[in-house]
Amino acid sequence: MPPPPMGWSSWNSLGEGVNHDVIKAEADGLASLNTRITSGARYEYVNIDEGWWRSGQRDESGNFIVDTTQWPGGMQAIACYIHGKGLKAGIYIDAGPRGCGKRADGTHFVGSDFACYDHDFLQFAQWGFDFVKVDFCGGAAENYDPQTTYRSIAQAIRRAYSQTGHLMMFSLCDGGTIPTDKSFPDYGEGPWVWGAGVGTMWRTTRDITPDFGSVTYNLAGNYHPEGQHTGYYNDPDMMVAAMGMSAVHDQAHVSLWAIAGAPMILGNDLAKPLAAERQAC
């Protein structure tokens, strides 16, 4: 089986505080980390999570209006910089019209929706992104069925590939929702039942926090061996090593994710140097 996806995501350490210079520094940090890995798989993805689409607006053609103060040169420029470091670029959107997080004024960030999927995922591919994480806060708010929604997105990603030749890895992020609506085709079933072939990886649990109790909770909730096979992965969430736990707990956390065959997505601030006792992680 191929190794699980390996990379870094902005959410755990940066929240919505992302911009070109911040992500550039994180890409530099990941590239530097890779130079210390002497054998085996290396980290690939630099994933920009919620907060990249600050305006929350579209132009008259439906294109994302990107804040060029936040992203000089647009999203293509940061994807190009990441690629120039020998890495792959990831981006984020919600499956529904309302995002998970809120701006300083209390309004929600916004997402995509059924009418926008083809347009949005084509634009991501045209920008050069290699990975897309799709959250489900807006989908849940609209009472969308997870399986139906994510299958529609997977189809949009494949259509974008057919038009651009650029295939994005698809990460499903509904927190392991098990629908209770008997009208849904996945009633009583989490994404580990139907996710393989829809996406590459799917969240199985609630969001992780940087304490070892949360680490062990998410690890236990990730145990669905029937779902993980032939290049498809149960995802207990991004890692929280080097974010406040002890060095022993950091090392145990990374080891447990590796033993579980989980995606190895770092969440700490790679622009900051690691303490010496944590560099072995």
What CATH number should be reported for the domain holding residue 72?
A: 3.20.20.70
Burial class (CB in 10 A: 0-12, 13-18, 19+), 188: exposed
77-95 pLDDT, tens per residue? 999 999 999 999 999 999 9
Tell me, yes or no, whether 182 lies in a domain.
Answer: yes
Domain count, the chain: 1
- Whether 211 sits among the annotated catalytic residues: the reply is no
132-184 pLDDT, tens per residue? 999 999 999 999 999 999 999 999 999 999 999 999 999 999 999 999 999 99
8-42 pLDDT, tens per residue? 999 999 999 999 999 999 999 999 999 999 999 99
Q: Which one is catalytic: 94, 135, 186, 269?
A: 135
Tell me, yes or no, whether 1 lies in a domain.
Answer: no
Taking phi over 0 as left and psi of -120 to 50 as alpha, with beta for the rest, 170 belongs to: beta
- Whether 207 sits among the annotated catalytic residues: the reply is yes
Residue 211 lies in domain:
6-278
- Residue 234 tokens read as 């149960």
> Can you spell out the DSSP letters for 32-92?
HHHHT--SS----EEE--TTS--S--B-TTS-B---TTTSTTHHHHHHHHHHHTT-EEEEE
Tell me, yes or no, whether 143 lies in a domain.
Answer: yes
Give bridge partners of residue 93 from the DSSP assignment.
Answer: 134
* Strand, helix or coil for residue 198: coil
CA atoms of 140 and 161, how far apart (whole Å):
27
Tell me, yes or no, whether 184 lies in a domain.
Answer: yes
